[in-house]
Amino acid sequence: DESGPAAEPSPWLRALADHFDDHRADYDDLDRRAGDGDFGANMQVAFASSVARAAGPDASLADDLRSMADAFGNDVGGSSGPLLGLVLTGLAEAVEDAGDDDLPAAVGEGLRAGMASVTRAGGAEPGDRTFLDALAPAVAEDGTPLDGAAVQRAADGAAATADLVGKRGRSSYVGDKAIGVPDPGAVALVQVLAAIVER
């Protein structure tokens, strides 16, 4: 019954939604300095919608990822919604068939599939100052699992976007004014990857 009160989502999804509520202004600020200032608002909507679509506190990782993919793909304005939605769709598909022991490898495989979809849809490559600069080093090779070391590579990649001039998305309009400011999409993706590993 869609009119009933929404059930609480799984704890890791709740924690992520809280993170993006608490840091909305910080993400908006990063995007203001290298784009149009709405990235925090877009993520807040994305996670509120993910929570609303979630199956409940005991949802599987695959179900939660599917709820998030649907939320990002359908309920978010801005380029980040559909593009991060493609990553989440790749993840959900890869995790659906995986057993518990295979999860880190399946998540890594799903990220690689999602990365390919994002490049096809948005035309960006690593080095263009997008969330791909966090994603690509995390799962650099076929078979790279998503583990703590991969999250650290993603965090290093996100931090390094501060030195990049944008070639895709709105940051490409501001040129070297974005130097010193990390790409908000990359910073946000690190949070999502860390939450998946730690859940």
Which residue in this structure is represented by tokens 């999860």?
103
3-state secondary structure of 28: helix
C-beta atoms surrounding 126 within 10 Å: 17
Q: Which option in ligand ADP, Mg ion, none does residue 83 bind, with CB closer than 5 to 8 A by kind?
A: ligand ADP
User: Residues 8-47: x/- map of binding to ligand ADP (CB under 6 A)?
Assistant: -----------------------x---xx-xx--x-----
The token duo for 174 is 């501001």
User: Residues 3-32: x/- map of binding to Mg ion (CB under 5 A)?
Assistant: ----------------------------x-
Give one word for 181, left, alpha or beta, with left for phi > 0 and alpha for psi -120 to 50.
beta
Number of DSSP helices (H) and strands (E) in the chain, helices first: 10, 0
Single-letter code of the amino acid located at 59: A
Is 83 a binder of ligand ADP (CB under 6 A)? yes
> What is the closest distance, in whole angstroms, from the C-beta atom of residue 84 to Mg ion in the complex?
12
> What is the closest distance, in whole angstroms, from the C-beta atom of residue 172 to Mg ion in the complex?
12
Nearest CA to 30 out of 45, 40, 20 is that of: 40
Number of residues engaging Mg ion in binding (CB under 5 A):
6
Which residue in this structure is represented by tokens 């690689």?
112
> What is the closest distance, in whole angstroms, from the C-beta atom of residue 39 to Mg ion in the complex?
5
The token duo for 131 is 């969330």
Is 167 a binder of ligand ADP (CB under 6 A)? no
CA distance 162 to 160: 5
- When binding is defined by CB under 5 A, the residue of 38, 93, 109, 133 that contacts Mg ion is 38
Crossing angle of helices 11-22 and 184-198, in 10° steps, is 150
Q: Segment contacting ligand ADP (CB under 6 A): 49-57, 89-97, 121-129, 147-155?
A: 121-129
Is 78 a binder of ligand ADP (CB under 6 A)? yes
Q: Which is nearer to ligand ADP, 20 or 39 (CB)?
A: 39
Residue ranges in contact with ligand ADP by CB under 6 A: 31, 35-36, 38-39, 42, 78-80, 83, 118, 122-124, 130-132, 168-170, 183-186
